[in-house]
């Protein structure tokens, strides 16, 4: 091998090494990849698969040089406990052990604690509430100063049912089909049927038992609470006041009692709906995203049921909004990154999250069942104190 050939080989090897090095720096998915900014986010549930998606994280690393660590938090704990990694057993283990042993003196201001750059709640009421001063008399913890943020991932409350049930409800004037999308156009009438104890066979559905809509428990489950917030808004004609909440809470209590057994997680309820069919679960409350997630994760199973499933959109409905609040400039970088068109497309196509207020520019026809392009008829999320009054009355009210 002559001198020129040797030089050529050396240059080739150097180039290969350079390419491999660049790929490592941009695609490596370790805990603290070289050249990336690590961001810590306290995160409410319901979006774990999306946040862990390899393609999403690759985009965050490649385009924005961000390595993001999402720690799981209960929404309620974000306002009652110090929002530091040690509370969930991470960060400084000496401090974490003290907190686990009951040391209540540690706060976000304590020396050595591992702080967060952002909070990503799974319920707008907790996002709104976190921005307020902590209620020390109620034992709430010190909070970070919220620099900014907003609603980031959205999915509306829907009701899943079956063809025979929806046909009967359409004949009753409760459901309306508009361009292949089913809307509950008379929610008050449907609620009255439930409160009156009407049976399915009273409206021509060959299903045993009383008309009911299964939901998760509003006392213990955020999706259930959101649904009951919608019912309260419907009963209050869109505006909840001190007067009409007192008038309507007894009706919701009766509705709650007649609902019987409730699952604690929407995933369990949705699985029961799919497995037991119209005879087991004629109607359930869940999020729109559930069917899109299911269609992507279990195509064979979806193909078996898609012709029988019906999605009913309450008119109005209510958003379940996953809201992002950032505390640092690093957190702001991640907040901006969620505007990325590629990330937004993944959020919708794989996980069913809408990223615009009315739905974004998605091809909803690709799903194969009735999903509207936009969600235009909604009620506002209720404030924390209204939800607290609602939940307390369901637990203890007469």
Instruction: Tell me: do 73 and 121 sit in the same domain.
Output: yes
Strands 148-162 and 317-326: antiparallel
Q: Are residues 78 and 227 in the same domain?
A: no
Two tokens, residue 79 = 């306002």
> What are 194-227's pLDDT values in tens digits?
999 999 999 999 999 999 999 999 998 888 999 9
Q: How far is CA 247 from CA 162, 235, 279, in A?
A: 33, 9, 34
- Taking the C-alpha atoms of residue 378 and residue 288, their distance in angstroms, rounded to an integer, is 14
Residues 233 and 382 in one domain: yes
As to burial, measured by CB atoms within 10 angstroms (0-12 exposed, 13-18 middle, 19+ buried), residue 149 is buried
Instruction: Answer whether residue 352 is part of any domain.
Output: no
Q: Are residues 143 and 172 in the same domain?
A: no
- Write out the E strands in the chain: 37-43, 66-72, 118-120, 148-162, 175-178, 181-184, 284-287, 309-314, 317-326, 378-379
Structure confidence by residue, pLDDT tens digits, 299-308: 999 999 999 9
CATH code for the domain in which residue 182 is found: 3.40.190.10
174 in the same domain as 83: no
Say if residue 316 is preceded by a cis peptide, omega within 30 of 0: yes
Identify the domain boundary among 153, 184, 212: 153
- Residue 229 shares a structural domain with residue 290: yes
On whether both 170 and 271 belong to a single domain, the answer is: yes
In a domain, 43, yes or no: yes
Instruction: Give the pLDDT score at 377.
Output: 87
| Per-residue confidence (pLDDT) for residue 4, from 0 to 100 | 54
Q: At 11, is the secondary structure helix, strand, or coil?
A: helix
Is residue 353 within 8 Å of residue 347, measured between CB atoms?
yes
Domain that holds residue 205: 156-319+369-396
Total domains present in the chain: 2
pLDDT digits over 338-359, tens only? 999 999 999 998 999 998 544 4
> Is there a single domain that holds both residue 198 and residue 137?
no
Rounded CA separation 34/101 (Å):
36
Residue 350 is assigned to a structural domain of this protein: no
pTM given for the model: 0.85
Q: Is the pLDDT of residue 14 over 60?
A: no
Do 180 and 65 have their domain in common?
A: no
110 and 251 share one domain: no
Lowest mean pLDDT among 22-36, 236-250, 298-312: 22-36
């Amino acid at each position: 091998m002559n001198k020129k050939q040797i030089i050529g080989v050396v240059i080739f090897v150097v180039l290969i090494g350079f390419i491999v090095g660049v790929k490592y720096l941009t695609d490596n998915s370790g805990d603290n990849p070289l050249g990336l900014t690590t961001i810590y986010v306290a995160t409410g549930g319901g979006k774990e698969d999306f946040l862990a998606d390899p393609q999403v994280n690759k985009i965050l690393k490649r385009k924005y040089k961000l390595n993001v660590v999402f720690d799981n938090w209960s929404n309620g704990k974000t306002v009652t406990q110090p929002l530091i990694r040690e509370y969930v057993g991470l960060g400084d283990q000496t401090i974490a052990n003290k907190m686990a042993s009951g040391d209540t003196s540690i706060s976000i201001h304590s020396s050595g604690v591992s702080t967060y750059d952002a909070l990503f709640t799974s319920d707008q009421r907790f996002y709104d509430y976190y921005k307020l001063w902590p209620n020390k008399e109620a034992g709430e913890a010190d909070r970070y100063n919220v620099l900014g943020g907003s609603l980031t991932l959205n999915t509306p409350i829907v009701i899943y049912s079956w063809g025979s049930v929806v046909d009967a409800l359409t004949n009753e004037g409760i459901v309306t089909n508009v361009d292949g999308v089913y809307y509950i156009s008379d929610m008050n009438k449907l609620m009255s049927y439930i409160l009156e104890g009407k049976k399915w066979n009273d409206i021509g559905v060959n299903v045993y038992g009383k008309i009911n809509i299964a939901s998760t428990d509003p006392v213990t489950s955020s999706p259930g609470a959101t649904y009951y917030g919608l019912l309260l808004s419907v009963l209050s004609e869109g505006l909840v006041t001190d007067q009409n909440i007192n008038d309507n809470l007894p009706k919701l209590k009766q509705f709650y009692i007649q609902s019987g057994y409730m699952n604690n997680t929407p995933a369990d309820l949705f699985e029961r709906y799919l497995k037991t069919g119209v005879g087991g679960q004629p109607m359930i409350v869940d999020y729109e995203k559930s069917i899109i997630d299911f269609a992507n994760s279990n195509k064979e199973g979806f193909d078996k049921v898609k012709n029988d499933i019906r999605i009913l959109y309450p008119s109005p409905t209510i958003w379940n909004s996953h809201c992002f609040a950032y505390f640092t400039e690093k957190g702001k970088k991640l907040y901006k990154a969620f505007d990325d068109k590629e990330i937004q497309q993944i959020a919708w196509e794989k996980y069913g999250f809408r990223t615009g207020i009315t739905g974004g520019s998605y091809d909803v026809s690709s799903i194969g069942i009735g999903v509207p392009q936009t969600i235009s008829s909604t009620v506002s999320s209720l404030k924390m104190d209204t939800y607290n009054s609602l939940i307390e009355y369901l637990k203890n009210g007469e």
